[in-house]
């Protein structure tokens, strides 16, 4: 049977029934929309309101944190280049510390505000959040166990920055490495070693920190002279050299107190040691020690005070010692023809081949 015959034999739908069915469906759709449109509008307005409040709150808080950090940096730059700034403030250190703290606070703020807004939006759609929160908790625990070293480094870096344990320019001993801090991060601290090498130290691996640049440093110099020297003259020479040094630049700023002569540190048969100390700026003790040694040596030479290890004075009229006096006499065994060498020569065995 052909397709045209089948179409001709099929009963045609009544025009009235199709129109009634379409009208019924349209009425049902209009009734459903009329019943739920208020819910849709309320839900949409609630979502828009939540998103708007979250974005505005995030912008305001981040802006306030940025202004606070800029104010801290401006206060550090205001004293940079002055005596107070050179002694107490490291602008680069404060800048990096404030930037790190601001970055952490901004990230935490964004995470809390946007995360809370996302949960509130899902709740507006009548979504059950209990399974989602439980899954997120399990995923967080698994991630914490898998990346525990990363979390440890991050938390250690945050507390190091907040507690101001060290900063850029400080000379520290971190146990695993030591040197000058050139960058402080939340996960890694970069140190410049004594030979110029760069150490990348994970913050979580640092168990103890020895900061050599906080507070003040102590410069110590040991002056070793002969035991026959007059201690009064030694003290006067050292005091004069220290007073002149304290009045000259840049030592007047690097010295935080007068140079003190503590007294005799050791007395031996051939020498005695005078201990000299001074309180200096953090990290400047080595330079002060070198300059202090230089000036003390010049002052002692000017006063005619000889230090141990110097060339002894030659008394007038006294002949120079014979340089061969300490040389031992040649041994008789040095010559192979001497009677001692011949007597010590072993006797050759007899020839048994005859």
pLDDT digit string, tens, across residues 189-199: 899 988 889 99
Tell me which residues of the chain have a pLDDT lower than 50.
Answer: 1-16, 83-89, 310-311, 313, 315-316, 354
Residues 6+ apart with CB under 8 A from 108: none
In this structure, what DSSP letter does residue 318 have?
P
DSSP-derived secondary structure letter, 204: G
CA 215, 167, 284, 71 torsion: positive or negative? Answer: negative
Helix pair angle (231-246, 285-302), 10° resolution: 130
Structure token pair of residue 65: 């944190």
Q: Are 275 and 262 in contact (CB under 8 A)?
A: yes
Cα 124 to Cα 33, 59, 161: the distances in Å are: 19, 23, 40
Q: Which residue pairs from 44-52 have beta carbons closer than 8 angstroms and sit at least 24 positions apart in sequence?
A: 46/124, 47/121, 47/124, 50/117, 50/120, 50/121, 50/124, 51/117, 51/121
For residues 130-145, one letter each, b for 16 or more C-beta atoms within 10 angstroms of the residue's C-beta and e for the rest, the string is eeeeeeeeeeeeeeee
What pLDDT sits at residue 144? 67
pLDDT of residue 66: 85
Q: Are 173 and 206 in contact (CB under 8 A)?
A: no
pLDDT on residue 9: 47
How far, in Å, CA of 296 to CA of 276, rounded?
10
Nearest Cα to 248, choosing from 282, 277, 291, 211? Answer: 291
Closest to 133 measured CA to CA, from 123, 146, 144, 145: 123
Instruction: Report the pLDDT value the prediction gives residue 331, as an integer from 0 to 100.
Output: 62
What pLDDT was estimated at residue 1? 44
Instruction: Give the DSSP per-residue string, 13-68.
Output: PPHHHHHHHHHHHHHHHHHHHHHHHHHHHHHHHHHHHHHHHHHHHHHHHHHHHHHH
Structural contact between residues 76 and 94, judged by C-beta atoms closer than 8 angstroms: yes
Question: Which string of DSSP letters, residue by residue, matches 308-342?
Answer: TTSPPPPPTTPPPPPTTTTSPPPPGGGSTTSHHHH
- The whole-number pLDDT of residue 310 equals 47
In whole angstroms, how large is the CA radius of gyration of the chain? Answer: 45
Residues 104, 98: Cα–Cα separation, whole Å: 10
Q: What is the pLDDT of residues 49-77, one digit of tens each?
A: 988 999 999 999 988 888 888 887 776 56
pTM score, two decimals? 0.48
The residues with which 208 forms a beta bridge, in sequence order, are none
Please give the pLDDT value at position 60.
Answer: 92
pLDDT value at residue 200: 92
Q: What is the DSSP-derived secondary structure letter of residue 346?
A: P
């Amino acid at each position: 049977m052909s397709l045209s015959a089948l179409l001709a034999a099929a009963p045609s739908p009544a025009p009235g029934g199709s129109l009634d069915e379409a009208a019924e469906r349209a009425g049902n759709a209009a009734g459903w929309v009329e019943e739920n449109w208020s819910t849709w509008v309320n839900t949409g307005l609630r979502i828009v309101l939540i998103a708007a409040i979250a974005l505005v709150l995030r912008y305001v808080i981040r802006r306030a944190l940025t202004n606070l950090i800029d104010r801290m940096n401006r206060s550090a730059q205001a004293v940079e280049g002055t005596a107070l700034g050179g002694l107490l403030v490291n602008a680069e250190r404060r800048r990096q510390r404030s930037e790190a703290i601001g970055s952490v606070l901004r990230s935490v703020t964004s995470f809390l505000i946007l995360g809370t807004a996302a949960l509130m939006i899902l709740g507006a759609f009548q979504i059950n959040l209990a399974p989602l929160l439980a899954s997120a908790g399990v995923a967080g625990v698994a991630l914490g166990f898998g990346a525990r070293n990363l979390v440890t480094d991050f938390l250690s870096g945050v507390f190091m920055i907040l507690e101001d344990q060290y900063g850029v320019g400080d000379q520290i001993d971190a146990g695993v490495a030591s040197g000058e801090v050139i960058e402080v991060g939340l996960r890694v601290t970069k140190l410049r070693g004594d030979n110029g090498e760069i150490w990348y130290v994970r913050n979580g691996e640092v168990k103890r920190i020895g900061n050599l640049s906080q507070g003040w440093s102590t410069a110590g110099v040991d002056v070793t002279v002969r035991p026959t020297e007059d201690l009064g003259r030694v003290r006067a020479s050292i005091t004069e050299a220290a007073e002149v040094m304290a009045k000259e630049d840049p030592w007047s700023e690097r010295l935080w107190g007068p140079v003190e002569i503590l007294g005799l540190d050791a007395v031996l048969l051939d020498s005695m040691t005078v201990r000299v100390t001074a309180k200096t700026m953090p990290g400047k003790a080595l330079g002060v020690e070198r300059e202090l040694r230089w000036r003390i040596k010049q002052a002692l030479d000017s006063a005619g005070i000889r230090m141990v290890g110097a060339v002894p004075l030659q008394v007038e009229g006294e002949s120079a010692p014979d340089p061969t006096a300490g040389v031992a006499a040649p041994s008789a065994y040095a010559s192979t023809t001497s009677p001692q060498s011949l007597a010590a020569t072993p006797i050759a065995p007899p020839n048994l081949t005859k």
